[in-house]
Amino acid sequence: MNTAVPGFLASGISAGIKSAGAPDLGLIFSQAPAAAAAVFTTNKIKAAPVRESQARLHQSAGLVQALIVNSGNANACTGVEGVRHVQSVCRSLSKTLKVPEQHILMSSTGIIGVPLPLEKVTGSIPALVGALSPDGLDDFSRAIMTTDTFPKRIMRRVCLADTEVSLCGIAKGAGMIMPRMATMLSFILTDLATSPEFLRSAFREAVDISFNAITIDGDTSTNDTALILANGAAGNPPLTGDAGGGDAFKDALCGLLKDLSRLILKDAEGATKLITIRLVNAGTSEAAKDIAFQVANSPLVKTAFFGEDLNWGRIMAAIGKTEHEIDSDVIDIFINSIMIVQHGCATGLASRAAALLKEREFTVTIDLHHGCASAEVGTTDLSIDYVKINSAYPT
């Protein structure tokens, strides 16, 4: 698969942050300064690279030319020293790449609370820059993996009036996933020419219905970052709104982020199922989303799915936990198209629907009959392997 995006180079190498020579340092370089938009974790405890990236995006008017990412160390809960480490890495990279320091961002993922091994990172910068290539995104996406079992990369091309534009999305994440306004690490590269305002609004819209609509364990990371870089190499008349192909670009971006979100769920720690929770006819959008997440995060619902057991009472109990107004006596529940609960009671079709739980993917539709708002959340089961992975993950 050709994942090159015109005007972008990338690389990924081992800097010795992880043991055993696994790749752990990646770089993306845009030959021209790129318009950037980002959403970061809403966790109140933000990693040093998140704090520093937020400040830089604000100061640089949204222009970014290079992004360095390490895995194996989150550089979170590392105090003032952690922020100084980010600044040192960016300064060192600025000298080697000959680009202004304020146009460089850093992201990190891995263990929390351990100081970043600064010399390993800065010492690897010459090799990292030397390895830059238009085909380097594969190496980059491997260098940002932690408990991921496969690299997550998706390519799209979209036609705007006369110009073909490329979009490449890269993500990592397999645990500590319930993004809430932002998400794990995800980087989208495009050669689109666009105003920063249009890019920001299109990106936020797409993130809301993709990364912000999945959960693996209800835990929100300190390092979540989703960043899009648009370098204009496609040469289209710069987009400023839906005209001139803006709507087509937004559609492609939404589709790309949704597919990336699914890849994250497919690689969820220990998961054996990919489940879509559809909440329909809720009183408000907030109620729809809250209740869908309650069901998606219930350990009892998730363990039942792991056991391929149609224990729908647990779904009802998870719905009922809500503080929103609902009427328990009118709720219907479907597994795919089979109605297992009608007016809050069993339909007798549970045994027929149970066969569907043996599939790798299925949809649970909950009809509250209480309004006309809806929401959709992607989730996974809770397996023995999730506990094994997370009780053994080294501090």
Contacting residues toward a copy of itself, per CB under 8 A: 43-46, 74, 76-79, 111-114, 175-176, 180, 217-222, 297-300, 303-304, 306-307, 309-314, 316-322, 325-326, 328-329, 331, 341, 343-346, 350, 382-384, 386-388, 390-395
CB closer to a copy of itself out of 114 and 373: 114
- Output the CA–CA distances (angstroms, integers) from residue 45 to 42, 48, 215, 230, 382, in the order listed: 8, 10, 19, 29, 26
CB closer to a copy of itself out of 22 and 389: 389
Return the structure tokens found at 174.
């397999």
CB closer to a copy of itself out of 105 and 382: 382
Residue 386 Cβ vs a copy of itself, minimum distance, rounded to whole Å: 7
Residue 169 Cβ vs a copy of itself, minimum distance, rounded to whole Å: 25
Catalytic residue among 78, 109, 183, 222: 183
Return the structure tokens found at 310.
């149609």
Tell which phi-psi region holds residue 235, choosing left (phi > 0), alpha (psi between -120 and 50) or beta: left
End-to-end CA distance of the chain: 36
Residue 291 Cβ vs a copy of itself, minimum distance, rounded to whole Å: 10
Residue 204 Cβ vs a copy of itself, minimum distance, rounded to whole Å: 19
Please, which residues have CB within 8 angstroms of residue 123's CB and are 6 or more apart in sequence? 15
DSSP label of 258 = H
CB closer to a copy of itself out of 352 and 388: 388
Residue 146 Cβ vs a copy of itself, minimum distance, rounded to whole Å: 13
Residue 174 Cβ vs a copy of itself, minimum distance, rounded to whole Å: 12
CB count in 10 Å sphere of residue 114? 16
CA-based nearest residue to 170, from 199, 148, 195, 198: 148
Taking the C-alpha atoms of residue 185 and residue 169, their distance in angstroms, rounded to an integer, is 11
Taking the C-alpha atoms of residue 211 and residue 186, their distance in angstroms, rounded to an integer, is 9
Taking the C-alpha atoms of residue 61 and residue 58, their distance in angstroms, rounded to an integer, is 6
CB closer to a copy of itself out of 187 and 312: 312
DSSP string over 158-203 = EEETTEEEEEEEEEE-SSS---SSS-SEEEEEE---B-HHHHHHHH
Taking the C-alpha atoms of residue 290 and residue 303, their distance in angstroms, rounded to an integer, is 20
CB closer to a copy of itself out of 82 and 232: 82
CB closer to a copy of itself out of 162 and 286: 286
Alpha helices in the chain (DSSP H): 48-59, 79-97, 118-123, 125-130, 137-143, 196-208, 246-266, 285-297, 299-306, 312-320, 350-354, 384-392
CB closer to a copy of itself out of 8 and 305: 305
The answer to whether 183 is a known catalytic residue is yes
Residue 393 Cβ vs a copy of itself, minimum distance, rounded to whole Å: 7
Cα–Cα–Cα angle for 67, 169, 10, rounded to 5 degrees: 40
Taking the C-alpha atoms of residue 312 and residue 346, their distance in angstroms, rounded to an integer, is 9
CA-based nearest residue to 273, from 235, 300, 308: 308
- Could you list the active site residues? 183
